[in-house]
Amino acid sequence: MNKGRIKVALALALVAVLAFVAVGARKTAMKLAQDAAQKVYVPPGEYDEFYAFLSGGFNGQIGVYGLPSGRLLKIIGVFSQNPRNGYGYNPETRPMLMTSHGFIPWDDTHHPELSQTNGVPDGRWLFVNANNTPRIARIGLKYMETEEIIEIPNSAGNHPSSFITENSEYLTAGTRFSVPIPQKDIPIDQYKGNFKGTLSFISIDPKTGKMDVAFQILVPGFDYDLAHCGKGPSHDWCFFTSYNTEEAHTLLEINASQHDKDFIAAVNWKRAEECVKEGKYETWHTPYAHNWFDEKKHMAFSEIKKEEKVIKPDQCPGVVYFIPTPKSPHGVDVSPDGKYILGDGKLSATMAVFSFDKMIKAIKEKKFAGDAYGIPILDFESVLDHYVKNVCLGPLHTESDGKGYAYTSCFISSEVVKWKWSTGEIVDRIPVYYSIGHLMIPGGDSAKPWGKYLLAMNKITKDRYLPTGPELNQSAQLIDITGDKMKLLLDFPTVGEPHYAQALPASMIKDKQARIYNLKENEHPYATKSEKNVKVVRKGHEVHVYMTAIRSHFVPDNIEGVKVGDTVYFHVTNLEQDWDIPHGFAVFGAPTSNNLIMPGETKTLVWKPEKPGVYPFYCTDFCSALHQEMQGYVRVSPADANPPMIWRGGGREGKWIVEQ
Amino acid sequence: MAKAEKIPILARVLVAVSAVIGIAAYFFPLWGYHLQAPQYPEGLDMWIWLYKLTGKVDIINDLNHYVGFMKLTESMFWEFKVLPVLTGILILWGLWVALVGTRRAFYWWLGYYAVFAVFSLADFYYRLWQFGHTVDPHAPIRITGYVPPMFGTKHFMNFTISSLPAAGFWVLLAGFVVAVLALLAAWPRAQAARAAARG
């Protein structure tokens, strides 16, 4: 055999081997994709394993998703008007969006938190904070609607919120944008020493869920960023990260990134309770709104409260300590057993894991490294347990799987890093697409995580989906964390900008979901519970239409007698008692949203007609085969006219009732 | 047949059992309807009792208005007032028959039971026929001559409608069967044979 032949034979053999390898690799890739697809596939008609509640950031809402499918199940209007169903537009729900600054139809939702019992989500309520005009909302998990909103006085930029204590005693709130507290008109360059923050504790009534501002701790003017409360041994404590300990007031990007360490504020809320009991607080009178929805009356109420208990740390020693923490930390996370506290220092590649026991010991032994505005700064080395070295670039937030591992999101290096709580040993990494902010494991910030999936919530989407102009939805990735190696399962877009999420097994709340509002229990003052009781009442320039909706007609559906200058209130009650038969209501020319009215519910549309004419109204929800016929007319006459005041509908005719 | 001729103890006991069984008819529905449609995978059930309607009656009424069927309400059926009384008479009369044990009383009671059963079923069928033939002429969707099933399954528009007797009916039927057994026990020839056997 000559050399040429050998070369050809070798080349052929190489090609064969390469082809074999390539086919094998392709097969392996397809097999992996099939495995992933099987793990997230929820067959038609079947249900997801988890409910996930993702904040919507700048949309002011909460998105309810099913996991593992990533299907969007519902959008809940919280701090923003929701034209879909009239939330924040109709008089029933407008009071929910009242603040001490008046009616505000928008905010920025950040950190949802489920109520907990013994450190585990219990499926009663979901809370979420508003960052812009400081507020916390409570969402009931039976109706999945916003039931209460409380404003946080003496604060600005409510970012380290709404994190919960182990038995839902308190929710945290805090000041990200320090301001003069109480507010006053001073030059901004007098920031240092004059601007302050508060760390607030919002109590939750264990029966009704009603929230109240229990006490506020006045703290130096840093930027308080995130929080988490202790568990087990650390039950009495909550931890808040801070950045801008430089107290910069301009170009914070540079000026607030000078210190190598910022602080975690460790707050002993039991100690704060003692100080309140002993009268070691000041009573301040900054007004704040408290709004709640009465589900029997189908109506929200708003009150302005004007009293808060403010604790000054020098008057209540032991209430707060500062733990120095590597550079500009974002998240502060507590291990499921409550023994470790982690500051995710976003400008440091090394994270410090603190020991709760060492912290208590350092406090006892007064191992302080000075103080900040009178608040003791603990000696870093005395509190440090171990480092997580070279974890990644831009660590932001960490959750746990309940099997001893922690998962940290890394914004700059765009990855999730898995490491061991007890040693800081890094065991796995997985890339995410792109620039992850928060991550979420169902129950991952609780004492007992359901460590099956991890959801990465990313800030940059770019090329992940079909492009939709310059504005793109955010992206999320679902990762399987049951094995030694993390596995990417699914990629799906999310509405708004989720800043954090919570999830719990669907079985905990699925069967207690309300299907209708019971018509018999409807105590709305303008409810009409039977077509027999419909009426139109004039009170001066107010016209109240007591209207019913049932497939497929309104009663009344002809209204004559309205004049320019009147304010017309259409109080529409949906008489249906069958699951998923809502009716909608909208009036031509009315400068407001439609109302989507659930079975047994009453909602009001308010309209001030400005021009004479005949205006149609109709059902906006395709309710039945005769939905298109579900329409009516209201006649508007000139202000000085004297039209007959009559109505028709349901085969009947009636005269208005005129009250003086 | 002598006026005061008695039926055997066995027959009297069976009559008493038959009457007592009848009490259960107050505690269980007589007839059940099950409606299924694409939009109602879980189905809609309606139960007819001696004296009431239960189940998803309101939802069925809401759906029926499209085709102009009459609205089902308890007050439109005189049967709901009369049937409990007729059943009560059946039970008390049966207990009295068991007590006095005369052949004449037994035959009258048995006749009443038979007439009661035939009349009730016939009335039920008439009501179904009437339901199907009394439709609002102005209904959005016009239909003619549909009668809901009494036994079994029928299809109507998007619904599959199944109708079957329920526990209350089976209880009354069992009562009737026991009454027939009583008749066999009291049959003059059988009684004569037993008397002969005793010698």
Q: What is the pLDDT of residue A11?
A: 73
Average pLDDT over residues A353-380: 97
Q: Which helix (H) or strand (E) holds A74?
A: strand A71-77
Give how far A575 is from chain B: nearest CA, Å: 10
Q: Are A551 and B65 within 8 A, CB to CB?
A: yes
Average pLDDT over residues B143-147: 84
Cα A57 from Cα A111, distance rounded (Å):
9
Give how far A165 is from chain B: nearest CA, Å: 41
Q: Are B62 and A626 within 8 A, CB to CB?
A: no
Do residues B17 and B50 make contact, with C-beta atoms less than 8 angstroms apart?
Answer: no
Q: What is the pLDDT of residues A10-48, one digit of tens each?
A: 777 777 676 777 777 778 777 878 888 899 999 999 999
The Cβ-side half-sphere exposure at A577, using a 13 Å CA radius, reads 14
Q: Are B66 and A625 within 8 A, CB to CB?
A: yes
Choose the mutation target among B40, B42, B65 for the interface with A, i.e. most A CBs under 10 Å.
B65
Average pLDDT over residues A302-318: 97
Encoding tokens for residue B86?
């007729």
Which residues 108-167 of chain B have a CB within 8 Å of chain A?
Answer: 140
Buried/exposed code over B143-162 (b: 16+ C-beta within 10 A; e: otherwise): eeeeebebeeeeebeebebb
Every domain range in chain A assigned CATH 2.60.40.420: 526-659
Cα B23 from Cα B19, distance rounded (Å):
7
B62: CB partners within 8 A, 6+ apart = A550, A551, A576, A578
Which residues are paired to B77 by β-bridges? Answer: none
Confidence (pTM)? 0.91
Instruction: Locate the chain B residue with the closest alpha carbon to A580.
Output: B39
Choose the mutation target among B62, B138, B141 for the interface with A, i.e. most A CBs under 10 Å.
B62
Of A550, A625, A629, the CB nearest to B62: A550
Of B62, B66, B140, the CB nearest to A576: B62
Checking if the pLDDT of B1 tops 60, the result is no
Q: What is the pLDDT of residue A101?
A: 98
Cα A240 from Cα A321, distance rounded (Å):
10
Which residues are paired to A454 by β-bridges? Answer: A479
Q: What is the pLDDT of residues A500-539, one digit of tens each?
A: 999 999 999 999 999 999 999 999 999 999 999 999 999 9
The Cβ-side half-sphere exposure at A134, using a 13 Å CA radius, reads 27
**Chain A residues touching residue B140 (CB < 8 angstroms):** 625-626, 629
Chain center to CA of A77 = 10
Average pLDDT over residues A252-260: 92
Give how far A651 is from chain B: nearest CA, Å: 12
Cα A144 from Cα A138, distance rounded (Å):
10
Q: Are A551 and B58 within 8 A, CB to CB?
A: no
**Chain A residues touching residue B66 (CB < 8 angstroms):** 551, 624-626
Q: What is the pLDDT of residues B49-67, one digit of tens each?
A: 999 999 999 999 999 989 9
Encoding tokens for residue A322?
């500062």
Do residues B33 and B45 make contact, with C-beta atoms less than 8 angstroms apart?
Answer: yes
Do residues A569 and A544 make contact, with C-beta atoms less than 8 angstroms apart?
Answer: yes
Chain center to CA of A378 = 33
B26: CB partners within 8 A, 6+ apart = B50, B51, B84, B87
Range of weakest confidence among A83-87, A347-351, A457-461, B81-85: A347-351
Q: What is the CB neighbour count within 10 angstroms for residue A412?
A: 15
Q: What is the pLDDT of residue B144?
A: 80
Q: What is the pLDDT of residue A33?
A: 82
Q: What is the CB neighbour count within 10 angstroms for residue A36?
A: 17
Per-residue confidence band for A2, with pLDDT thresholds at 50, 70 and 90? low
User: B58 and chain A: CB distance < 8 Å anywhere?
Assistant: yes
Q: State how far the alpha carbon of A74 is from the alpha carbons of A310, A498, A598, B73, in Å.
A: 39, 14, 15, 37
Greater confidence (A440 vs A25) lies with A440
Q: What is the CB neighbour count within 10 angstroms for residue A16?
A: 10
Cα A276 from Cα A254, distance rounded (Å):
39
Instruction: Locate the chain A residue with the closest alpha carbon to B138.
Output: A651
Fold of A526-659: Immunoglobulin-like (2.60.40)
Q: Are B62 and A551 within 8 A, CB to CB?
A: yes
Instruction: Locate the chain A residue with the closest alpha carbon to B44.
Output: A578
Q: Are B59 and A626 within 8 A, CB to CB?
A: no
Q: What is the pLDDT of residues A167-181, one digit of tens each?
A: 999 999 999 999 999
Q: What is the pLDDT of residue B194?
A: 72
Q: What is the CB neighbour count within 10 angstroms for residue A514?
A: 15
Q: State how far the alpha carbon of A178 is from the alpha carbons of A187, A272, A275, in Å.
A: 14, 21, 24
Cα B98 from Cα A232, distance rounded (Å):
73
At residue B12, the 3 state secondary structure works out as helix
DSSP E strand boundaries for B64-191: 152-156, 159-165
ipTM summary value: 0.80
Q: What is the pLDDT of residues A547-561, one digit of tens each?
A: 999 999 999 999 999
Q: What is the CB neighbour count within 10 angstroms for residue B76?
A: 11
Checking if the pLDDT of B193 tops 90, the result is no
Every domain range in chain A assigned CATH 2.130.10.10: 50-512
- Any idea which residue has 């603190």 for tokens? A354
Chain center to CA of B173 = 8
**Chain B residues touching residue A516 (CB < 8 angstroms):** none
Q: What is the pLDDT of residues A108-132, one digit of tens each?
A: 999 999 999 999 999 999 999 999 9
**Chain B residues touching residue A550 (CB < 8 angstroms):** 62
Q: What is the pLDDT of residue B3?
A: 54
Q: What is the pLDDT of residue B199?
A: 57
Per-residue confidence band for A307, with pLDDT thresholds at 50, 70 and 90? very high
Checking if the pLDDT of B2 tops 70, the result is no
Q: What is the pLDDT of residue A13?
A: 74
Share of chain A above pLDDT 90, in %: 93
Sign of CA dihedral A436, A438, A443, A449: positive
How much is the mean pLDDT over chain A?
96
Residues of A at the B interface, defined by Cβ within 8 angstroms:
550-551, 576-578, 624-626, 629
Checking if the pLDDT of A1 tops 60, the result is no
Q: Which helix (H) or strand (E) holds A363?
A: helix A356-364
Fold of A50-512: Methylamine Dehydrogenase; Chain H (2.130.10)
Q: What is the CB neighbour count within 10 angstroms for residue A649?
A: 19
Cα A302 from Cα A293, distance rounded (Å):
9
Quote the Cα angle for A356-A359-A361, to 5°: 115
User: B104 and chain A: CB distance < 8 Å anywhere?
Assistant: no
Share of chain A above pLDDT 70, in %: 98
